[in-house]
Amino acid sequence: RLFVSSLSATVDHIRAMTMLDVFSNLMAVLLIGLFVSPTAGILAALIISSGEPWGYQWVGGSIGRANFVLWLGIGIALAARRREALSTVALTVAALFRLFPAVLVGAVGLRAIFRAVVRRRLERNERDVILAAFGTLIVGVLVACAAVGWDAFGDWYLVIKRHAMNPPGNHLGLPLLLHYQPGVDSGSLIDGRLSNPLEVWELRLEELRFERLSLHILGVLFAFGVLLTAIRRGASQLETISFASLLLYSLLAITNYDGVWLIALVPLIHGSTRRTAALLAFLASTQFLALIFGALEPRCLAQSLLLYLLILYVSLDALRELGARGGQESSPPAAPPAEPQDALAPSP
């Protein structure tokens, strides 16, 4: 970011930043295809290329924003190779670029802690995962401070706070669905007479957030329960990253052009025809909804609903299979059939 801010906005610089995004996306697809499965790589490519919400309807959302995708792809690939500590490092770097992947880091950390509690001792693998997360975070923060200074964190917080009040049509997530109310949108409540034309809308949105906080908490608790159940049933780190997608979607309303994080769900999809069909139907529906709704807010509302249904279906269907797999592994082997006694054998 420091390097980019020192550049002038020439055509060559903009093209270079765009190519950096292309490189990040392609490398993420390649790594997932090589280390998860070729089908997974194809699905990741389709998600990145075909999802309309992250199709960059404006130039500002398309330059230098895909670096976290590369690190997310590295984290998924390393988890598939069972390099869990290195995978955690990559996921934490992704979180340093874009804050929301921290939910995925928290999920793999929860898995490590749960396994340590069950075994009543901290194994080396779980210890390395926890140290990898905290170590990478500390190093990343120190590097950022050395580059831009401590004051930049205050500016960063203000940017996050401002983006939290963006028009909800710019977001995807469960909070967008829960805070919806007909007639309450930035367009209908705008007042040009005020110093902040969106002040009325922002105040009403805050009221809706407070009124529906209990529903939001229930949604987050449900998603956390799904994640914890998956971990209890023996989900691998790769599967845990995918199961955390429901928690990520439920917890935060994320800017729609960052929706490429959906590649984290691919490890639960690529091995199932049903779930693959659901993903393809969702991607096609996002393009169809863009043709129906010209306005951004109703379009993203409908897309958020379909995205929630997709993540919910994939997570619950995979959780059911995970339970069946665990049941088969824990069931005792069948006893061999008794050999028939020889009727002609003399009795002792």
What DSSP state is assigned to residue 180?
A: -
Q: How high is the pLDDT of residue 191?
A: 63
Q: How high is the pLDDT of residue 163?
A: 67
Q: What is the pLDDT along the chain (348 residues), one digit of tens a residue?
A: 555 566 566 777 777 777 888 899 999 999 999 999 999 999 999 999 999 888 765 555 557 778 999 999 999 999 999 999 999 999 999 999 989 999 999 999 999 999 999 999 989 999 999 999 999 999 999 988 888 778 877 877 887 777 666 655 678 899 989 888 776 666 666 666 777 666 677 777 778 888 889 999 999 999 999 999 999 999 999 999 999 999 999 998 888 888 999 999 999 999 999 999 999 999 999 999 988 887 777 888 899 999 999 999 999 999 999 988 865 554 445 555 555 544 444 444
Q: How high is the pLDDT of residue 337?
A: 55
111 in Cβ contact with 235 (< 8 Å): yes
Q: How high is the pLDDT of residue 188?
A: 63
For residue 292, count CB atoms less than 10 angstroms from its CB and return exposed for 0-12, middle for 13-18, buried for 19 or more.
Answer: exposed
Q: How high is the pLDDT of residue 331?
A: 45
What DSSP state is assigned to residue 121?
A: S
Q: What is the pTM of this model?
A: 0.87
Q: How high is the pLDDT of residue 277?
A: 98
DSSP bridge partners of 254: 172
Alpha helices for the chain (secondary structure H): 2-5, 11-35, 38-50, 67-80, 84-97, 102-119, 124-148, 151-164, 174-178, 199-211, 213-232, 237-251, 266-269, 273-292, 296-330
- Judged by phi (left if over 0) then psi (alpha if -120 to 50, else beta), residue 56 lies in left
Helix axes 38-50, 11-35, angle to 10 degrees: 150
Q: How high is the pLDDT of residue 344?
A: 41
Q: How high is the pLDDT of residue 78?
A: 98
Distance between CA atoms of residues 151 and 155, nearest Å: 7
Per-residue CA distances from 307 to 259, 284, 344 (Å): 10, 12, 71
Q: How high is the pLDDT of residue 348?
A: 46
Per-residue CA distances from 32 to 11, 65, 124 (Å): 32, 20, 26
